[in-house]
Structure 1
Amino acid sequence: MTNSDREQTVLDAVRKDLLIGGEWRPAASGRTAPVVDPSTGKVLCEVADASVDDGLAALAAADAAQPSFAAMAPRERGEILRRAFALIMERIDDLALLMTLEMGKPIAESKAEIAYAAEFFRWFAEEAVRIDGDYAVAPNGASRFMVMRQPVGVSVFITPWNFPLAMGTRKIGPAVAAGCAVVIKPAQETPLSMLALGRILQEAGLPDGALNIVTTSDSGGVMEPIITDERTRKLSFTGSTPVGKKLLEQAARNVLRTSMELGGNASFLVFDDADLNAAVEGAMIAKMRNMGEACTAANRFLVHSSLAGEFANRLAERMGALTVGRGTEDGVQVGPLINAKGRDKVAELVEDAVQRGAKVLIGGKPVDGPGYFYQPTVLADVPRDARLQREEIFGPVAPITTFTDEDDALALANGTEFGLVNYQYTQNIDRALRVCERLESGMVGLNTGLVSNPAAPFGGVKQSGIGREGGTVGIEEFLEIKYVAVGLSS
């Protein structure tokens, strides 16, 4: 079988319809929307393009399924997730190819994401049977306190294009474990991975209506009526801060429980006592994972003035050696950006920095030819007033700015409305702990460029979000606490 034949076989195997109440069906209007290969700009296939009526039908299906799903034994819900984990890992090669076709990342990165995504199902399969409660004697001894944790109810999810599978399993896993029926809308750019996951969950035994998938080109128009409907009790969104703010306004109408994983502006601090080899290696991971299209990507490299030159040269050498190309090809390490708009925004931010005095050490331009590629880029001497100090780059660009001391570094790192993650490299344990405490972010990578782990709480502070996903606290986002006061007759 040729590579193109295999690609077509994988695409053909995916249902392109809406999943509503356990049934795959086209949009009521019959409309479809294209899915584009970002490495070529060509249409891969068409998927159902849902209307408001389709979205409300999905919500009705989730609402109908909610009582029986909440009553299902926790062990049974956990076993569904465990079976789904096994099915994902069995099909990792096909799922990786599908993800690369719709999103662009190299096959190796797609496989890494799928393994990461599957781990959320394995983790929450174990958490499903650990939902606890409490029983206590009142301080005055006259009554008893009983505390229950119950499913929050119908949950609505909106996921982004940059991690098409993992951002879904990170939400679906705890929802299923807790007993919450779901309506999920994947990103218009990358719906195929979520549609493939829907089939897998059906095979794993998830009851009809417990997961409903709505693909649409009109995200705002379709989702607002769902979010503001009184049947919805939970909203979880991963995406940009401006969109998250709009969704919070909509969620406020019915006082929904919300989880928001929003934008980032991560700093990568390299102190004068850092292990430079380790710092460069960590920088490559923190910057180039997913071509830099990650909210956790290092956005600003803040390096002590005594190390900045050597760090920049080493990083430029590593970045310049990366192979750029279509993610399905052997040896490719950097795929395309998601679309022309994303590539043009990267080019705009780089141009702004250069005009303000930054020096291009490597890269600095879009790649000629089809697709939405941008060269891996390192910028030195980036001034503090450059736009990319304030705005997410979301691309393979590493801007380096110097600092003079710890207070200067922390002022730069914390001088943003965002607070998702920061990274720091130092061999001084006192400084390490001191800086970790002073950094204004929900996560810190200490001498590591990778913080994401299904067993750890993921989330930010300030305008980077509300709530946490993953870890032992992840399931709490889908549970309501009910207190029962027990009176005694004597």
Structure 2
Amino acid sequence: MTTTHPTPRVVEDVPKQLLIGGRLQDAAGGRTFPVDNPATGESLCEVADAGPDDGRRAAEAAAAAQESWAATAPRARSEILRRAYEIIIARTDDLALLMTLEMGKPLAEARGEVAYAAEFFRWFSEEAVRIEGGFAPSPDGRSRHLIMRRPVGPCLLVTPWNFPLAMGTRKIGPAVAAGCTMVLKPAPQTPLCTLALAGILTEAGLPDGVLNVVTTTDAGALVEPMLRGGLVRKLSFTGSTQVGRILLAQCADTVVRTSMELGGNAPLIVFDDADLDTAVEGAMVAKMRNMGEACTAANRIFVHSSVADDFASRLAARMSALTVGPGTEPGTNVGPLIDAAGRDKVDRLVRDAVDRGAKVLTGGELPDGEGYFYPPTVLARVPRDAGLTGTEIFGPVAALFTFEDEDEVVRAANDTEWGLVSYLFTRDLDRALRVGERLETGMVGLNTGLVSNPAAPFGGVKQSGIGREGGRVGIDEFLEYKYLAIPAPGQ
């Protein structure tokens, strides 16, 4: 018999409508869609299901607000972000519970994401008042060059489900700081955190029309007309490389500026001189953050053959000790995957690897019962032709490979279309610098499994993306250069 759980207060308190031009409103035709709890499979609530007409109205609202918002003083924009940061911190427990309910991660990890998400608002509140230009004479002395930075204009922000609060603040923060208006489309699995965030920004004083939120189950029908319609001047997208390619093609017609944070296939390399305690701890962080549902997750773990068995046994012991269950229950380390499709994909990849000769050290079997759970799994002796070597696993599965020398492992690590992040464990500084420079990724974790930080530029190379989010350069993605030529006195 299925148990029906009452709707938690944090879900009831979140608006379920679209936010367009400062007004909450139903989708055209009154369409809605359910938001499910992945720990139970039950529906938490229904939210508005926007269509193309709703998207058009949201883009028009953002365009209408752009001129006045761009003229707002940088300090005013800064203070709105700072107030929003403080509100988020004050509501950490409610936001964490909301996140756990709609996407599954354990409460302790959700609280960590709330802090991480808030920090983007604090960081960009400080960057808002540091937008600089320049002034210089021309080489021939006949003119003066005045260089200023201006907001790129109305932006379309598309965020994923795996970090539903942080991916919103990582895009909204620099857009607000730069003076851009926005239309934000969250993933259909996790719209509630975005709707709650929009309410917080309104409370913090963000003017009507600056942020518009459209929730939908048909992203293609909503997004393409906006990109081709001429009102949107910037797209910031986080999601799969496959979808990113489609969006880049759609942006070409009107030459929409793009930022893309796409897929990853992160290698984690453990050399023979590594501190194995540090390496195992780093692998746990790099692999198990968000149940492995992260583009930064260690997808391929390469361990030198001389320490491979020791590392594998230690990692398997740590993984098997994790507690799997609903993220709301105390002591849970690993929550459910996002949905049935995500869990089935992980199971298929594991079965494929085992069929090809991989050895299961722990996990590897679908559990019975409700929810989309998958056990922490360690696979040793994974063959290089297994499907998971070229696919984002997006689940709690550690795939171990062995190597003999540095050149071999660098070639294997770089043998992928993606290049987001890599991880490197060694006590040899020369090797760390040498290998770190050779790895074809936008970020490298040296003796650590965590690279994400609002104060650092996040992004990849190759087919892992275009541009950077966070750090001093994060605001540049939302600014254009404008140059004024001024005749020199007497010319």
TM-score > 0.5 by shorter chain: yes
Q: Is the 8 A contact 1:423 1:449 kept in 2?
A: yes
The CA distance in 2 between the partners of 1:255 and 1:440, in whole Å, is 28
Structure 1 partner of 2:402: 402
Structure 1 partner of 2:288: 288
Following TM superposition, by how much is the alpha carbon of 1:140 offset from its aligned partner in structure 2, in angstroms? 1.8
The CA distance in 2 between the partners of 1:388 and 1:411, in whole Å, is 17
Structure 2 partner of 1:425: 425
Letter in 1 for 2:80: I
The CA distance in 1 between the partners of 2:477 and 2:276, in whole Å, is 39
Following TM superposition, by how much is the alpha carbon of 1:477 offset from its aligned partner in structure 2, in angstroms? 0.2
Structure 2 partner of 1:177: 177
The CA distance in 2 between the partners of 1:123 and 1:4, in whole Å, is 39
Q: Kindly indicate whether residue 311 of structure 2 is the aligned counterpart of residue 311 of structure 1.
A: yes
Q: Is the 8 A contact 1:29 1:51 kept in 2?
A: no
CA offsets 1:100-139 (integer angstroms, 9 cap, x no match) = 0000000011110010000000000000000000001112
Following TM superposition, by how much is the alpha carbon of 1:227 offset from its aligned partner in structure 2, in angstroms? 1.2
State the superposition RMSD in angstroms. 0.9
Secondary structure at the residue paired with 2:422? strand
Once the two structures are superposed, the pairs formed by residues 221-240 of structure 1 within 5 Å of their partners are 221-240=221-240
Following TM superposition, by how much is the alpha carbon of 1:487 offset from its aligned partner in structure 2, in angstroms? 1.3
Q: Kindly indicate whether residue 322 of structure 2 is the aligned counterpart of residue 335 of structure 1.
A: no
Structure 1 partner of 2:134: 134
Secondary structure at the residue paired with 1:481? strand
Structure 1 partner of 2:464: 464
Q: Kindly indicate whether residue 341 of structure 2 is the aligned counterpart of residue 364 of structure 1.
A: no
Q: Kindly indicate whether residue 26 of structure 2 is the aligned counterpart of residue 26 of structure 1.
A: yes
Q: Kindly indicate whether residue 299 of structure 2 is the aligned counterpart of residue 299 of structure 1.
A: yes
Following TM superposition, by how much is the alpha carbon of 1:146 offset from its aligned partner in structure 2, in angstroms? 1.1
Letter in 2 for 1:220: G
TM-score, with length taken from structure 2: 0.98
Secondary structure at the residue paired with 1:64? helix
Structure 2 partner of 1:473: 473
Secondary structure at the residue paired with 2:328? coil
Q: Is the 8 A contact 1:299 1:389 kept in 2?
A: yes
Once the two structures are superposed, the pairs formed by residues 20-169 of structure 1 within 5 Å of their partners are 20-169=20-169
CA offsets 1:52-79 (integer angstroms, 9 cap, x no match) = 1111111111000000000000000000
Using the aligned pairs only, state the percent identity: 68
Letter in 2 for 1:396: P
Following TM superposition, by how much is the alpha carbon of 1:4 offset from its aligned partner in structure 2, in angstroms? 6.1
The CA distance in 2 between the partners of 1:78 and 1:376, in whole Å, is 42
Structure 2 partner of 1:272: 272
Q: Is the 8 A contact 1:265 1:299 kept in 2?
A: yes
Letter in 2 for 1:152: V
Q: Is the 8 A contact 1:154 1:232 kept in 2?
A: yes
Letter in 2 for 1:452: S
Secondary structure at the residue paired with 2:50? coil
Unaligned runs of 5+ in 2: none
Letter in 1 for 2:322: L
Following TM superposition, by how much is the alpha carbon of 1:97 offset from its aligned partner in structure 2, in angstroms? 0.5
The CA distance in 1 between the partners of 2:254 and 2:227, in whole Å, is 9
The CA distance in 2 between the partners of 1:425 and 1:29, in whole Å, is 55
The CA distance in 2 between the partners of 1:391 and 1:232, in whole Å, is 32
CA offsets 1:222-270 (integer angstroms, 9 cap, x no match) = 1110111111100010000000000000011111110000000000000
The CA distance in 2 between the partners of 1:10 and 1:174, in whole Å, is 27
Secondary structure at the residue paired with 2:301? strand
Structure 2 partner of 1:373: 373
Structure 1 partner of 2:263: 263
Following TM superposition, by how much is the alpha carbon of 1:28 offset from its aligned partner in structure 2, in angstroms? 2.0
Structure 1 partner of 2:322: 322
Q: Kindly indicate whether residue 392 of structure 2 is the aligned counterpart of residue 389 of structure 1.
A: no
The CA distance in 1 between the partners of 2:373 and 2:308, in whole Å, is 28
The CA distance in 2 between the partners of 1:426 and 1:183, in whole Å, is 44
Structure 2 partner of 1:349: 349
The CA distance in 1 between the partners of 2:482 and 2:387, in whole Å, is 47
Letter in 2 for 1:49: D
CA offsets 1:373-406 (integer angstroms, 9 cap, x no match) = 0010000000111111111100000000001000
Letter in 2 for 1:412: A
Letter in 2 for 1:148: M
Letter in 2 for 1:158: V
Q: Is the 8 A contact 1:106 1:333 kept in 2?
A: yes
TM-score, with length taken from structure 1: 0.99
Q: Which range moves more in the overlay, 290-299 or 477-486?
A: 477-486
Letter in 1 for 2:383: P
Letter in 2 for 1:483: Y
The CA distance in 2 between the partners of 1:404 and 1:192, in whole Å, is 48
Q: How many residues align?
A: 487
Structure 2 partner of 1:436: 436
The CA distance in 2 between the partners of 1:267 and 1:51, in whole Å, is 40
The CA distance in 2 between the partners of 1:24 and 1:468, in whole Å, is 32
Secondary structure at the residue paired with 2:273? coil
Unaligned runs of 5+ in 1: none
Secondary structure at the residue paired with 2:28? coil
The CA distance in 1 between the partners of 2:184 and 2:350, in whole Å, is 35
Q: Kindly indicate whether residue 454 of structure 2 is the aligned counterpart of residue 454 of structure 1.
A: yes
Q: Which runs of 4+ in 1 moved over 4 A?
A: none
